[in-house]
Chains A and B, each alone.
Chain A
Amino acid sequence: MSDNVILQMKHISKRFPGVYALKNIDFDLRAGEVHALLGENGAGKSTLIKVLGGIYHAEEGEIEIDGKPVQINSVQDAEKNGIAIIHQELVLVPYMSVAENIYLGREPGKGILANRGQMVKDAQKILDELGMDIDANTIVKDLPIAKQQMVEITKAVSENSRILVMDEPTSSISDKEVENLFKIMRDLTKKGVGIIYISHKMSELEEICDRVTVMRDGEYVGTKVVKETNKDELIALMVGRTLTNYYVRDYQEPGEEILSVKDLKDGKRVHGVSFNVRKGEIVGFAGLVGAGRSETMQALFGLTKGVTGEVYVKGQKVNIKTPNDAIKYGISLVPESRKEQGLYLVQDVRYNTTIEILKEFIKNLRVNEKKEREITQKYIDLMATKTPSQNQTIGNLSGGNQQKVLIGRWLSTNPEILILDEPTRGIDVGAKSEIYAIMNDLVKTGVSIIMISSELPEIINMSDRVYVMAEGKVTGCIEHEEVSQESIMQLAAI
């Protein structure tokens, strides 16, 4: 990392109708550094990046590159100034080859004829230089997500980008792939590229970042050198208060067995899973991505066809063929992928809260709107969801508040067994802690929770017992007293 500042953003302000999305933000990036941008959802990180990328236009403020003021009014302006943004959702053309994607819109060759041979050769050269194990002729859709991300990075490098923005690049790739990504990031910084890194994962900051800038509610809070700060200080800066109890859990003696699953199989990813759950406990499910945890719960919930095995609820053998059967037996499932499996994004908070229990207020061609509002308000209050009104389109809420609405929806069916699949993925620390507190309250009232999570600290600090799965089977069950990262990983990795 040098002291050579390549990007300086000064006093950036951006207003949306009625609200300041960004208020007087200062940010600078040096050549060869990885600079983290940290903040809760809604803090303004994405807005700032969109200003830098030419998608939004800031009303006030200046951007300087290499000390010279520049105007960035379009994506093309940003590219011209060597800025490349790698979005969370990748934007490659799936049916084109890697090389074609890298050179899209600037194919080498004369006139209208693209020189394909040259293009493939050039692309392969850059890929090899960056140490990426990718063939330039591969069709992009055949690559795993992590590799697609690498193609995006290669594309940015090939455009001679010196300012690289990465928006939560590790949210959907495995640990090993993260290692590889970090290695490539380090190589890039050695070449003088500056990287702006957005992530919610604190452990990553320590590993890869040099400095960190914290934002809150659209305002600049401070910039720290990563080596001179710690997790608690950063969290305090982000949420504006010190979180004394991040994980909230009062352990109690669990009650009698409420759910027992024996030899569950779905013929695909679940190969004979058995486990049990007692009243008022949180049972964690740990394992690597692809271990079959979500598939197990979906099979239990009646979402999969051709499931075999035995399920006992309160000692009674039950036959669950559809989610409605599961709901009838007091089982709820909050799925792992909020936007794809959970939310009706164009609908409002009320619609999203009440969709499971329409029969309580829609009868004989009459909608009891008063009751509908009361039910919605009950779960807004219970979950402490922050929303301007019940009529707010849910797509406009932050991830944490979306998740709260979704959990509220599934509590509305009065479950005795609540399955939470990655309940805190991609949400900010403040909301995470609130969800832990709600889980703690729920088990105290006698609800049992099954929590699938890939975040080990969450599993370790919240669970009474932890089942570990690998390759579609339970490889062990660890009691609260013995649970640790090591004991879990030993069972998870085969």
Chain B
Amino acid sequence: MSDTKKAGSVAVSNNKAMIFLKENLGIIIALLILCVFLSVFPGTSESFPTVRNVFNVLRQISSNLLLACGMTMVIILGGIDLSVGSVIALSGVLAAGCVSRYGMAIAPAMIVGVLIGIVFGAFNGAVVAKTTIPPFIVTLATMNIARGLAGVYTGGSPVRVVSDEWQFLGAGYIGGVPVPVIIMILVFIISLLIVNRTKMGRYIYAVGGNVQAAKFSGINVAKVKFFVYTYTGFLAGLAGIILASRMYSGQPTAGEGAEMDAIAAVVVGGTSMSGGSGKLGGTLIGALIIGILNNGLNLMNVNSFWQTVVKGVVILLAVFLDYIRNIKKND
């Protein structure tokens, strides 16, 4: 009896995996081609498919994926959060400042950094939930405020922290796996659970898909919005202290443009900017494609300006692929 039950649930989840594969076939193939190419291409075949490099790539995408997990939810909700990149800087410099200027212990200092993220996220969420001011404008404002405060606090120069303990979060290893990679995996799983296995997750899709219907459904729309922006702020704070840890310092310029990289991962992952639909799995693939591409170009010694051009082309290609598929679906 219990065996048949198990078989049933396995069949259901297989089915889900198949649907996910089918819906994201384009980017999954793109990701595979990219990996195969880098593994056989003479310039990268030696350096790309090594354990060290794989961890390297994962560490590089870790902060982007943290932001992108929150950004996916915000975009499903029909919103946008431009402030996350600046929050990275502010939480990083304040956490570092707590240690180097006020002599705080490492752990509470880092909690202060995360709290900064939560405060900014909660502020964004409260304004978006209680007013009809577009999220683009609200977070454009807080983006500037956070970046400005980071500059004010530091006077423009990095706040250094010289201690091995401080570096653990960003540069340490547990069992040979980089700590940021472990955090990234945890955050991804928690986000997956929220989106797919809670009522809140379903409400995010409802509010993003049709806010009026959500109100008629008795969904507390303000609460859903507040939660999503606060969670995103929390992830930005977390990314901020990880980055500050890896760089031995809180830098007022950290995370510049990070919000755009997060949006890029979400969009390449097939989530629609119009809200109501999207998948975290797609975002993971999106972040991997962008990260591996950067890594490959690095290994080929292509200069970073060209890498930016390539990133732009990839975004265009991804949305173009989506566009073609939608046309086929509708005709």
Contacts and interface: CB of A to CB of B under 8 A. Distances in A.
Interface of A: 16, 56, 302-303, 322-324, 326-327, 333, 335, 340-347, 351, 355-356, 358-359, 362, 365-367, 369-370
5 contacts: A335-B216, A341-B216, A347-B209, A359-B199, A362-B197
B193 interface: yes
Contacts of B219: 355
A366 B276 CA distance: 22
B7 to A, nearest CB: 12
B277 A346 contact: yes
A365 B215 CA distance: 24
A17 to B, nearest CB: 9
Contact of A340 (B193, B197, B198, B213): B213
A358 to B, nearest CB: 4
B196 A355 contact: no
Given A323-B216, A341-B213, 12 more contacts: A302-B218, A323-B218, A335-B213, A344-B206, A344-B276, A345-B276, A347-B277, A355-B217, A355-B219, A362-B199, A365-B197, A366-B197
A407 to B, nearest CB: 13
Q: Lowest 3 A-B CB distances belong to which pairs?
A: A323-B218, A344-B209, A358-B199
B209 A367 contact: no
Interface of B: 8-9, 12, 193, 196-199, 202, 205-206, 209-210, 212-213, 215-220, 276-277, 331
A75 B220 CA distance: 44
B199 A344 contact: no
Nearest to B278: A346
B218 A347 contact: no
Contacts of B212: 340-341
A333 B215 CA distance: 12
Given A343-B213, A356-B218, A370-B8, A351 B277 contact: no
B142 to A, nearest CB: 28
Given A340-B210, A359-B199, A367-B196, A347 B205 contact: yes
A257 to B, nearest CB: 25
A34 B219 CA distance: 46
B197 A367 contact: yes
Contacts of A356: 217-218
Contacts of A340: 210, 212-213
Given A344-B206, A346-B209, A303 B215 contact: yes
B205 A369 contact: no
A439 B133 CA distance: 42
Contacts of B215: 303, 323
B17 to A, nearest CB: 13
B217 A323 contact: yes
Contact of A324 (B9, B198, B206, B218): B218
B210 A343 contact: yes
Contacts of A351: 202, 205
Contacts of A347: 205, 209, 276-277
Contact of B12 (A327, A355, A369): A369
B202 A369 contact: no
A355 B8 CA distance: 24
A345 B272 CA distance: 14
B271 to A, nearest CB: 12
Given A342-B216, A346-B277, A369 B9 contact: yes
B218 A327 contact: yes
A365 B193 contact: yes
A356 B213 CA distance: 11
A359 B199 CA distance: 7
A326 B216 CA distance: 11
Contacts of B217: 323, 355-356
A333 B218 CA distance: 10
Contacts of A344: 205-206, 209-210, 213, 276
B23 to A, nearest CB: 12
A326 B217 CA distance: 11
A358 B202 contact: yes
A38 B12 CA distance: 42
